[in-house]
Amino acid sequence: MPYTAPKWARKIEERHLRFRPITSFEYGYWWIEWGGATDTIRDNEAIRFELLAIVTGVWDYIKNSGKYPQAANWAMDWVGMVPGKRESRRIEGDHILTQQDLMGLNGDFKDAVALGGWGLDEHPPGGFDDVEKRPFVSTKLPDVYNIPLRSLYSKDISNLMMAGRNASCSHVAFTSTRVMATCAVMGQAAGTAAALCTRDGITPRELYRDADRLAELQQTLLGDDQTIKNLKNEDTRDLARKAKVTASAVAEGSRPESVIDGWVRDAVGELAHRWAAPMSGGKPWIELFWADPQALRRVQITFDSGFHRELTLTSSDSHNSKIVRAPQPETVRDYALIARLEDGKEVELARVSGNHQRLCRHEFAPVRAKSVRLEVAATNGSDQARVYEVRCYG
Ligand SMILES: Cc1cc2nc3c(=O)[nH]c(=O)nc-3n(C[C@H](O)[C@H](O)[C@H](O)COP(=O)(O)OP(=O)(O)OC[C@H]3O[C@@H](n4cnc5c(N)ncnc54)[C@H](O)[C@@H]3O)c2cc1C
């Protein structure tokens, strides 16, 4: 596959790539970045052109310098035409999230609504032109960190909220919060907060100042499977929390009562906050029962979806090889939900086959139930049935 660079391609030499090694061809190079020292909004077109000049120049170097004979059969088939931006405008909120916050030096936030965890990941503003600098400096964080509601609404405009790259963060804190999954959970938090504000006719700042509403926001987020560090399910409407729990079998390190302990994540290798049981013994089940019958109309189950395994969007072969591009093996696939009524009769509330979701909600005609039993018929491959949480609502 011959390659002739356009006239306007940059002329790349070895010195440009001192800290920018070319290790594979299938994925592109994240370190081809330029424009951090200009106005990334006003100068967008100029930045795109300069980036194209660098991309074509680097490819010319790979194909024609003679240093990469293994690239002989490779061709460049696509280049993005919208410049991606690591950093652009941010809006100041009532709190500006800082590096110290992320490092846990300032304690926790009472208005925590989302979670981040990517290490600090600073890139030099000159990008590819900063040839004497490494393209990024990475600083590990001691733990995941919480993001407060106050960083998701403007300090100056009463009804303006932010989520993602425009949230209220210092430059350094932002080098962690800008990753896609963290941007997404900020969106979940801001959207849920906006809905609460609209319902009650209040501003986001008023929501922050109202302890009851703030707790409602946090519990609503947890109920939708948002993870917030140090916060667990304390939803007073969740009837499962006052149930007794038994199971047909229990794997070592796990307990049936874990499904109502409020936590829905485990450290890698642990089963402390999950019920787990071997599939080998037939259809394992877990049952929640109450001394007094409960009026139920909704059950919510949080299954295991293999959070320890990589699941990301990438074209990099090294990452792709670790991804299961199918339902995650740990997730329960086929199951039934059965209620026992006051008179001892059993009613099937739900029967599911082919599930691949972590969070499953079932609504049904109201029943007065003495117990609810989850029977697992199959997983997506794991030899254990695993359930993080069961919630029941009237
Ligand atoms: C080269 C590069 C590599 C990266 N690598 C990774 C990575 O490996 N992993 C990772 O997690 N993250 C990575 N990131 C960071 C991450 O991709 C971004 O920070 C994140 O996608 C930002 O999401 P966002 O929703 O905040 O902003 P955006 O995705 O920019 O969304 C903002 C949206 O608003 C729209 N918009 C703007 N103005 C208006 C308007 N006036 N009206 C209506 N719509 C408007 C825009 O068109 C855009 O669609 C990378 C970023 C870059 C640039």
Which atom of ligand 1 has the smallest separation from the CA of 184? Answer: 25
pLDDT at 28: 86
- Determine the distance separating the centroid of ligand 1 and the alpha carbon of 165, expressed in angstroms: 7
pLDDT of residue 241: 98
pLDDT band at 128 (very low <50, low <70, confident <90, very high): very high
In the predicted model, what is the mean pLDDT of residues 245-263?
97
How many of the other CB atoms lie within 10 Å of CB of 325? 6
Q: Where are the domains positioned within the chain?
A: 1-85, 99-223, 239-393
Alpha helices in the chain (DSSP H): 44-64, 99-102, 171-177, 180-200, 204-209, 211-223, 317-320
State residue 316's pLDDT score: 78
pLDDT band of residue 60 (cuts 50, 70, 90) is very high
Assign 53 to helix, strand or coil. Answer: helix
**pLDDT confidence of residue 317:** 81
Please tell me whether residue 19 adopts helix, strand or coil conformation.
coil
Residue 85 has a pLDDT of 87
Give exposure, 2-28, as e/b (b: 16+ Cβ within 10 Å). eeebeeebbebeeebbeebeeeebeeb
Percent of the chain at pLDDT > 70 equals 100
CA of 164 relative to ligand 1 center, distance in Å: 8
Which of 180, 188, 315, 319 has the most ligand 1 atoms within 8 A of CB, as the residue to mutate?
Answer: 180
Ligand 1 binding pocket (C-beta < 6 A) is: 30, 84-86, 164-165, 178-181, 183
Query: How close is the Cα of 171 to the center of ligand 1, in Å?
Result: 16
With a cut of 80, say whether residue 314 has pLDDT above it. Answer: no
Region 181-187: what's the mean pLDDT? 97
Q: What is the rounded average pLDDT for all residues in the chain?
A: 96
Average pLDDT over residues 325-338: 96
Q: What is the pLDDT of residue 257?
A: 98
pLDDT in tens, 349-382: 999 999 999 999 999 999 999 999 999 999 999 9
Given its phi and psi angles, is residue 344 left (phi above 0), alpha (psi -120 to 50 degrees) or beta?
left
Separation of CA 166 and ligand 1 centre (Å): 10
CATH number assigned to the domain covering 239-393: 2.60.120.260
Point out the ligand 1 atom lying closest to the alpha carbon of residue 85. Answer: 53
At 179, the pLDDT band (50, 70, 90 cuts) reads very high
What average pLDDT does this structure show over 94-98? 98
Indicate if the pLDDT at residue 312 is higher than 80.
no
Task: Specify the range with the lowest mean pLDDT, choosing from 81-95, 163-177, 288-302, 339-353.
Answer: 81-95
Give the pLDDT confidence score for residue 232 in this predicted structure: 98
pLDDT at 315 over 80: no
pLDDT of residue 310: 78
Render pLDDT for 206-235 as a digit per residue (tens, 0 to 9): 999 999 999 999 999 999 999 999 999 999
Lowest mean pLDDT among 120-129, 286-295, 318-327, 361-370: 318-327
